[in-house]
Amino acid sequence: MNGRCAPGFEPVREAFERNFADRGEVGAAVAVTVGGELVVDLWAGWADAERTVPWREDTLTNVWSTTKGVVAIAAHQLADRGELDLDAPVARYWPEFAAEGKDAIPVRWLLSHRSGVVGIGLDRPVTVEELYDWEHITGLLAAQAPLFAPGTASGYHALSYGFLVGEVIRRVSGQTAGEYLAEHVAGPLGADFVLGLGDADLPRCSSMIEPVLTSAAAQALATAFANAGPVALAAMANPRVEGHHANADDWRRAELPALNGHGTARAVATIYGALADGSQRLLSDAALATARAGQGREVDVVGGLPNEWALGFYLGSEERGFGPNPLAFGHDGFGGSSGGADPEAGVGFGYVMNQMGPLLRDDPRKLALVAALYSCLG
């Protein structure tokens, strides 16, 4: 166990230790800011499956969909500066997107997973390697018809979110999502969070380890995919991305703004902490209120889970996935990682790991850390 834990936050350290002892953790880090102060910054374990490389202070981890929340901040910054209108049609900024009746879809429906463009239709199979070609995938999405009526439901844009929101960011700012985050989000905060790694950072990456499933769980997962409809399959399985894909250097070099942000727990907590501490370093108070405004509670037509989206974030809502405040918000990543903010408590939170669990959100390890954190805050 390495790092520091401020007096009064020992329960977080104890929960982190129990994740290794009782919940199968291999390598991980957790960080918490309160009122802009870093009060928990811990890391432990191994960065590789063979347990030969120690997890270090600067170990970078693929955080999967935790990336989505960070990318949402970029979109809200552009809106905060008056460069992007969240209620304007996407086609105002990206004219090609108007194809197949998508001319009226507003930007906010990309952020709230209501555009219907959950992915590329099954009539056009896509490989993981094709994801590395930005122009190719954004071209396919621009030409894609919505897979459900836009605005009528939420359907998790598991892969497409990053290309859709990322292309709007590129059209408005002239920068790729990775370039924008480096200059306007992570860079000003000194946060070690990168979208699109350079060769110098590749040796710092932890290796993702596939979930360990019981035979019953593996059978249930196979059955779920076999019974999934075309909307869910387009979102989650075209292509079907698995944990080991994130260990390829080409994956790490690519910009996949829904899937492959790499960072430390400290970086994730620092970014969310800057939303929670009242400093307005990333977003004005008005822009933050817009970003975390609920868009209506629904059962997601892709994942089948009840939840409430804000604009680019999950709301804590009834599930309380980011603590007891239902208005706390953030985003989890495939396998367990998470970042979140609770402005009412002044809390920013980050958790990253390499031993993946089977869930898309609310991994038991994350929930144990969040529960321990709020026990410290009373």
Q: Is the dihedral of CA 66, 222, 153, 234 positive or negative?
A: positive
- Tell me whether residue 345 is in a domain: yes
pLDDT of 304 reads 85
- Tell me whether residue 76 is in a domain: no
Average pLDDT over residues 78-97: 98
pLDDT of 359 reads 84
201/356 Cα distance (integer angstroms): 22
- Tell me whether residue 79 is in a domain: no
- Tell me whether residue 112 is in a domain: no
Identify the H or E element spanning 289.
helix 285-291
Q: Is the pTM of this model over 0.85?
A: yes
Structural domain harbouring 248: 2-71+180-377
Average pLDDT, the chain: 96
Counting residues of the chain whose pLDDT is more than 90, the rounded percentage is: 93
What CATH number is attached to the domain comprising 244? 3.40.710.10
Give which of 89, 93, 111, 112 is closest to 101, Cα–Cα: 89
Residue 225 has pLDDT above 90, yes or no: no
- Tell me whether residue 105 is in a domain: no
Q: Which two tokens stand for residue 257?
A: 């703004």
How many domains are contained in the chain?
1
- Tell me whether residue 158 is in a domain: no
Active-site pick, 65, 115, 154, 338: 65
What digits encode the pLDDT tens for the residues 229-249? 899 999 999 999 999 999 999
173 is catalytic: no
- Tell me whether residue 262 is in a domain: yes
pLDDT of 227 reads 65
- Tell me whether residue 103 is in a domain: no
Counting residues of the chain whose pLDDT is more than 70, the rounded percentage is: 98
Average pLDDT over residues 28-52: 98
pLDDT of 38 reads 98
